[in-house]
Amino acid sequence: MPILFSFLFLSSAFSTPLDFQTLVLSPLPKPHTLSWTQQDSESLTLPDPSQTPTTTLSVQLHHRDSLSSLDSTPDTLFTRRLQRDAARAKTLTDAVELAVKPNVSRARGKGGFSSSVTSGLAQGSGEYFTRIGIGTPPKYSYMVLDTGSDVVWIQCSPCKKCYTQSDPVFDPKKSTTFTGVTCGSPLCRRLDSPGCNNRQMCLYQVSYGDGSFTFGEFSTETLTFRRIRVKNIALGCGHDNEGLFVGAAGLLGLGRGKLSFPNQAGRRFGNKFSYCLVDRSASSKPSSVVFGESAVSRTAVFTPLLTNPKLDTFYYLGLTGMSVGGVRVKGITESLFKLDSTGNGGVIIDSGTSVTRLTRPAYVALRDAFRAGAADLKRAADFSLFDTCFDLSGKTVVKVPTVVMHFAGANVALPASNYLIPVDSKGSFCFAFAGTMSGLSIIGNIQQQGFRVVYDLAGSRIGFAPRGCD
């Protein structure tokens, strides 16, 4: 997107000239037709984790709207996305509340064991998926990738109850590498609330904020990414999976917890991964996720990872402030985003949340600063969770104030398309931030578009590389 900078003096609101950039207006995107590369039947095996990692895993990502009905209109798809997003944000904040308040009642799991509400596919809200081979020989299926979840799981036959998925349900009896986990094994004890059947085999359950859940045997299996096999990954083999999980076969948890895929396989790819999420209107370039040394972009700016002492799943960052038009917003201070010793507050980055949520005082200050800087644009009615919208019908380009997110050690300047987005087919565009009454702020995937977001777990840092999808 061409970016132009100009300056404008607004004496009524600002004492210094503002920085502007040009937004080229694009309509709501239509879902793209899926086009997966035919997988090579020959597989490679990753080296032993005790050896120096030399292999890079790289797979394409697609937005979940690609699995939606092709007769859905762009307006309908976007409305559904915002509905999922609201449920997703609630699930994340509920997960924190459960972690910091042990006396909060927890959902009862199948077989009489309890399971905490875990962030993830609230109302199917995992927004990006890829195609992964499961078992030996590999059976390829769509898997949601989610940085807000830990447990890896798939639907398995025989099904007590399975939702409809796009590929045949995985049959563990047809895989030579499927192995059940016993109740007494250390792997079973890594589950938050493991169960046990009458054969002394480990059971798992993951519950989601909308009442959806997956339940079944805990096991180990081989996963294949294109031609590269990753052995002995602990995953749930779900025989009872209920909820709105779209057409994917399961979920690849990319969270920070001990059972996530990055944690399990980390030593095999140097404890590094990254993704780049393409604006869904830019169909020429696919989104991607990369594991290994190649995941770290040389152009990335880094900010330290913070740790919540009460919850290990989420990736916390230190947000210190924000700028609009090149001017620091006075009402946004580092204290508004502080993660305290009890596990409350803080800022997480999440691939499954679309719209960035800021704690209410910070959002109001940001919104008011943007409204003042965009005073020349014609206002439109509020739309869903957005309270700052503009009627840009009949225009092809507009100038908007720049927006920069200031993290500890890293300034991330957002492209205009990452914060002023189309919401209907009538030319309405809205400021793509929202406020939350929760103390938890969430950096969503709309703001991450076009950046290669680097999760350097070995270095305990998160990086942002602009134009990282090139």
- Rounded to whole angstroms, the Cα distance separating 329 from 40 reads 52
How many residues are there in the chain? 470
Assess whether 350 carries a catalytic annotation. Answer: yes
The 8-class DSSP code of residue 383 comes to B
**Separation CA 55–CA 226 (nearest Å):** 13
> Helices (DSSP H) in 205-251: which residue ranges?
none
> 347 with 442: CB under 8 angstroms?
yes
Q: Which of 19, 85, 150, 350 is catalytic?
A: 350
DSSP 388-401: -EEE-TT-SEEEEE
* Burial category of 75 from C-beta neighbours within 10 Å (exposed 0-12, middle 13-18, buried 19 and up): middle
**What gap in Å lies between CA 172 and CA 453, rounded to an integer?**
34
Spell out the residues 6+ positions from residue 48 whose beta carbon is closer than 8 angstroms to its own. none
First to last CA, the chain: 13
CA distance 218 to 203: 5
In angstroms, rounded to a whole number, what is the distance separating the alpha carbons of residues 466 and 415? 9
Q: Which of 146, 192, 279, 424 is catalytic?
A: 146
Instruction: Name the token pair of 214.
Output: 């997956």
Q: Does residue 253 contact residue 206 with C-beta atoms inside 8 Å?
A: no
Distance in angstroms (rounded) separating the CA atoms of residues 171 and 135: 9
CA dihedral 251, 254, 259, 263 (to 10 degrees): 150
Identity at 377, one-letter amino acid code: L
Instruction: Give CA torsion, residues 287, 292, 296, 298, to 10 deg.
Output: -110
- Known catalytic membership, residue 210: no
Q: How far apart are CA 347 and CA 353, in angstroms?
A: 13
Neighbouring-strand partners of residue 309: none
Nearest to 414 by CA among 386, 448, 437, 389: 448
CA 265 to chain CA centroid, Å, is 19
> Is the Cα torsion angle 83, 35, 446, 343 positive or negative in sign?
positive
Dihedral in degrees, nearest 10, Cα atoms 366, 367, 373, 376: 170
The three-class DSSP label of residue 349 is: strand
Structure tokens, 124: 């199917």
- What are the catalytic residues? 146, 350
